Amino acid sequence: MSLGPLDRPADLQSVLPIQVLCSLGGLFMVLVEGALAHWSIFHSSAPLIALCYIYFMQIAYPFRLSLLAVLFMGLFSEIMFYHMLGTNCTSFIAAALVTQWRAVVLRDADFVEIWANFSLIAILTGAIKIVVYFISYFSMPDFSSLLQQTGMTVLLFPVCYVVLVSMSSMLAKVIAFQSG
C-alpha cells in the first residue's frame, strides 16, 4: 500500500519551510506597523518594526529571511501605507544587504554597538526614501514625518530587539524539548 503525500511525514531537514515561516513573520511585523500607525502618538509615521525584524533576522539567523521575502515585505508595506512603490522595497533590501555584510562583526558585539549600527541602518533607510522621492518628484518630501519615523524606530529598537530575542529563545527551548 503506497502512502499519499499527506500520509508521509514532513521533510524537516529542508530550509524552505523555515524560510516561509520567517517570511510570514516578516509580513506579520508589517501588520504590527499598520496597527501602530493608528495610535495617535505615531500619527502618520509609524516606527519601522519590519526593519527591526529584518535587522535581527540577518544577524541572528543569516539566510533564513531571503531577499525575496524582504522585497515582499517592502511591497506589502508600501501597499498597506499607500507609499510610493519602490521606496520601502529599495530601503529594506539595502538594509538587509548592509546587515548581512556586517553580521559577522555584529554577532559578537555588545548591545550598544548593535543599537548604534541599527541607528545607522535606520538613517540609511530614510536617506534612500528621500533619494527615491526626489528622483521621482524632483522635490523634497516632508522631513518632519520622516524624522519622526526614524527617531521612533531607533527609540523602539531595544524593545523590539528584546521581544525578538525572547521569542527566539523560547522557540529554541520548545524545539529542544520536542527533540529530546
Residue whose entry in the numeric block shows the C-alpha cell 524606530: 153
What is the DSSP-derived secondary structure letter of residue 83? P
| pTM for this predicted structure | 0.88
- Does 1 score more than 70 pLDDT? no
Q: For residues 34 and 45, what is the distance between their CA atoms, to the nearest angstrom?
A: 10
Which of 2-11, 30-39, 120-129 has the largest mean confidence? 120-129
The pLDDT assigned to 70 comes to 96
The pLDDT assigned to 67 comes to 94
Mean pLDDT, residues 53-69 taken together: 93
- Does 68 score more than 70 pLDDT? yes
**pLDDT-based confidence at residue 131 (cuts at 50, 70, 90):** very high
**pLDDT-based confidence at residue 19 (cuts at 50, 70, 90):** confident
- Of the candidates 29, 35, 43, 128, which has an alpha carbon nearest to the alpha carbon of residue 76? 29
